[in-house]
């Protein structure tokens, strides 16, 4: 997949998030699910907050503010396969977990639109980006702008599965 495919994939995934959001019962939106962990609201907030932060890193590296560092083989494999390793439980980095909060559905829709607008602004910067310049990710090391775009898609898709687990628990 190239950048244009990842860009379109992200837009398709966000459409899925919007469709799911409309179907989530208001009474369950901010409630800790039977399987424990984060509520729908917290998952949504995390994924779009983290995606906006990822766009900042994408922009930093696309504009040449980063470092020339190697990308770990395991990270290259994740990016190539387009998914996080199956069956492995991941925890958000502490700095991101501390940012998670419960929000109203309307506020979430606004945050999703902010993300899409920032994505639309950041995407054209990939065309002129030096792919040897990378910005740090808290768990995956240094990623170049195209890697950041791909990671955003993978991360968004990963959390769709988490939402399915929450849904099944009710």
Q: Tens of pLDDT along the chain (170 residues)?
A: 689 999 999 999 999 999 999 999 999 999 999 888 899 999 999 999 999 999 999 999 999 999 999 999 999 999 999 988 876 677 777 788 788 899 999 999 999 999 999 999 999 999 999 999 999 998 899 999 999 999 999 999 999 988 998 998 88
Residue 90 structure tokens: 């991941």
CATH number for the domain that contains residue 74: 1.20.120.450
**Residue range of the domain that includes 29:** 3-169
Whether residue 163 contacts residue 20, with contact meaning beta carbons closer than 8 Å, is answered with yes
Specify the DSSP class assigned to residue 144.
Answer: -
Residue 116 structure tokens: 């899409």
Q: Give the containing element (helix H, strand E) for 142.
A: strand 141-143
Let me know the angle formed at the C-alpha of 68 by 129 and 92, rounded to the nearest 5 degrees. 90
Number of domains in the chain: 1
- Which pTM does this prediction carry? 0.91
């Amino acid at each position: 997949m190239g950048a244009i495919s990842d860009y379109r994939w992200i837009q398709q995934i966000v459409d899925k998030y919007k469709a799911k959001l409309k179907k989530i019962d208001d009474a369950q939106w901010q409630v800790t699910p039977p399987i424990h962990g984060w509520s729908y609201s917290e998952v949504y907030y995390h994924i779009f907050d983290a995606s906006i932060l990822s766009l900042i890193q994408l922009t930093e590296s696309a504009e040449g503010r980063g470092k020339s560092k190697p990308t770990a083989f395991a990270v290259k494999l994740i990016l190539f396969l387009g998914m996080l390793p199956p069956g492995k439980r991941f925890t958000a980095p502490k700095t991101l977990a501390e940012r998670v909060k419960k929000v109203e559905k309307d506020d979430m829709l606004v945050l999703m639109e902010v993300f899409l607008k920032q994505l639309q602004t950041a995407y054209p910067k990939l065309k002129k980006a030096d792919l040897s310049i990378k910005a740090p990710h808290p768990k995956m090391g240094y990623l170049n702008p195209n890697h950041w775009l791909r990671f955003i898609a993978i991360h968004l898709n990963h959390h769709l599965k988490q939402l399915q687990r929450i849904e099944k628990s009710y």
